[in-house]
Chains A and B, each alone.
Chain A
């Protein structure tokens, strides 16, 4: 059954059309392929920029387009014909649904900043983009997770909640270890990128930091959201 005739993109099935078990509609991409492709992406941009912030900005704009499409695709696949209109709901959507469909597990935590009412943090202990990247000391504060912050910004912007999203690496405290690295199991395929962890014997050194995505919403978004509370 190899129908290789080129089909129009508008004719191909999108998946999630109430086929009973929605797990069967997911496709998998090998993690090593993603790692290679992503490293090429970073190198491509690195050869064309002259500063760290420029590189981060380019990675962000690469992720932005992905975010917009992921938003539409996931909302369609959820088949509920509902959009998110509240701030907390869209953040839940990002940290649970988007993360789950891209990485196979929801984000490790979603926090609200105490000092600023418009800041939220999404934490991931093992972001895929920086797992295979080591940043040399002369590039200092560069975070290659800028790609992921671009994805988050794309999702939020598309839904009408414009925000500035930045990626930060925060050192892990003692004993603070996400369940991500041990929970992979032997090739459990439940997400977009198949994990090949074999128990705890990962060949990579344990990470010393977690990725924190700081989401700062624009003031009019908060105004609109609080006016909906009444």
Chain B
């Protein structure tokens, strides 16, 4: 099971996912369809837990909120209640925290764009490139 090789990162708004990206460790090929779908399922089913945890703490970084098989879901909530969720097979808290902080910075910069409407899907290619670069730097 290459579950620790594939990381799924999703940005979820109030109603729908705004951005999705899969990161693979360099060298491995993309995962099969069923693995991808299972990853999505695990991540989306953790959304309820995020909602519950959101109001109990005023931290932005919510750490690991769900563990399924070998995979863990970590979450980060922005000030505007946009959820950044990462499905991973066990990475250090620090590297995930740094990853989220950098993506948050990119997200805030993106929302400064007057043409980007809050809570709409993110389609900017440059955002995608930069998120992947951040992922490569912190998540291997």
Interface pair B112/A73, CB less than 8 Å apart: yes
Which residue from chain A places its CB closest to the CB of B131 in the assembled complex? A10
Interface pair B80/A73, CB less than 8 Å apart: no
Give A4 to B82 CA distance when docked, in angstroms.
Answer: 33
Contacts of A89 in B (CB 8 A): 58
Interface pair A65/B117, CB less than 8 Å apart: yes
Interface pair B81/A8, CB less than 8 Å apart: no
Which residue from chain A places its CB closest to the CB of B118 in the assembled complex? A68
Interface pair B108/A73, CB less than 8 Å apart: yes
**Minimal beta-carbon separation of B118 from chain A (angstroms):** 4
Give A83 to B101 CA distance when docked, in angstroms.
Answer: 14
Known: A72-B78, A158-B80. A14 touches B58 (CB 8 A): no
Give A154 to B130 CA distance when docked, in angstroms.
Answer: 28
Interface pair A84/B58, CB less than 8 Å apart: yes
Interface pair B55/A158, CB less than 8 Å apart: no
Q: How many residues of A contact B (CB 8 A)?
A: 26
Number of A-B contacts (CB under 8 A): 78
Interface pair A68/B58, CB less than 8 Å apart: no
Give A225 to B137 CA distance when docked, in angstroms.
Answer: 39
Interface pair B78/A69, CB less than 8 Å apart: no
Interface pair A81/B61, CB less than 8 Å apart: yes
Give A76 to B80 CA distance when docked, in angstroms.
Answer: 11
Which residues between 41 and 69 of chain B lie within 8 Å of chain A, taking CB atoms? 54-61
Which residue from chain A places its CB closest to the CB of B129 in the assembled complex? A10
Give A85 to B111 CA distance when docked, in angstroms.
Answer: 22
Q: Does A208 contact B (CB under 8 A)?
A: no
B-to-A contact residues, CB < 8 Å: 54-61, 77-81, 101, 104-113, 117-118, 124, 126-127, 130
A-to-B contact residues, CB < 8 Å: 8-10, 12, 14, 65, 68-69, 71-76, 81-86, 89, 158-160, 224, 228
8 contacts between A and B (CB under 8 A): A10-B106, A10-B109, A65-B118, A71-B79, A76-B79, A83-B78, A83-B81, A228-B55
